[in-house]
Structure 1
Amino acid sequence: MNDRIETGSIKILLAEDDSDMRRFLVKALQNAGYAVVSFDNGLSAYNRLREEPFELLLTDIVMPEMDGIELARRATELDPDIKVMFITGFAAVALNPDNQAPRQAKILSKPFHLKDLVNEVTRLLAA
């Protein structure tokens, strides 16, 4: 029994097209106690979001079929309370106001340590 926040009931939807990166992220988040569902493209992730609610959308920006910014925009239309975090090597893209990314979204720039990712996710979910 540990005294951390009860993370097992917190569901994270991960959209990342790089299979190695996706595997590392899922493992790190699951090890931290989160329930993670992952997809390799934005369209599949969006279709899952339409089926059930998630507390957090963790998404890459550059992906096939639907990019992360479009996915985040649609996710916040479906659920205004969903928290969004972009993981990207292109932080400037997410920060560009013309792309209409959700304003409250957090951005974690690649490369990052998995520990930093888990800390940022925990901080964002606690906010």
Structure 2
Amino acid sequence: MASTTITNPLTRMLDGAFTKFDQNKDGKLDTAEFKTFNELLKPGIAVDETGKPKVDYSSRMDLDGDHEITREEMHATTVLMPAALTDPSLNMMLNYLNGLQDDPNVAAAAARLAADDDAAS
């Protein structure tokens, strides 16, 4: 099977982030991994009048209901994102998250994006 090159900037950004957030490298985001990954999705989620997100990407992406998100499930889900944050290098998203450090989940997501995975090996 021939490999395909991902050209969509949002898909490339999410794909790179998926790799960083899949800490145990099993090809899936478990509940804890997805909790921080979800911070990357929030800029594209509409909120109601109380500030609660109108979309729960955890349940939307978990197509088979196993409480884990595979890369294929992520790719099969429509995600909206401000174009300025879709930089595949993840720098724009990291800058955005660094501006929201009051939330511990946001801080964890920013730390995960900033982590040098090669140094952890």
Q: Which TM-score applies when normalising by structure 2? A: 0.30
When you count helix as a share of all residues, which structure comes out higher?
2
When you count strand as a share of all residues, which structure comes out higher?
1
Structure ID, larger Rg: 2
Q: Which TM-score applies when normalising by structure 1? A: 0.29
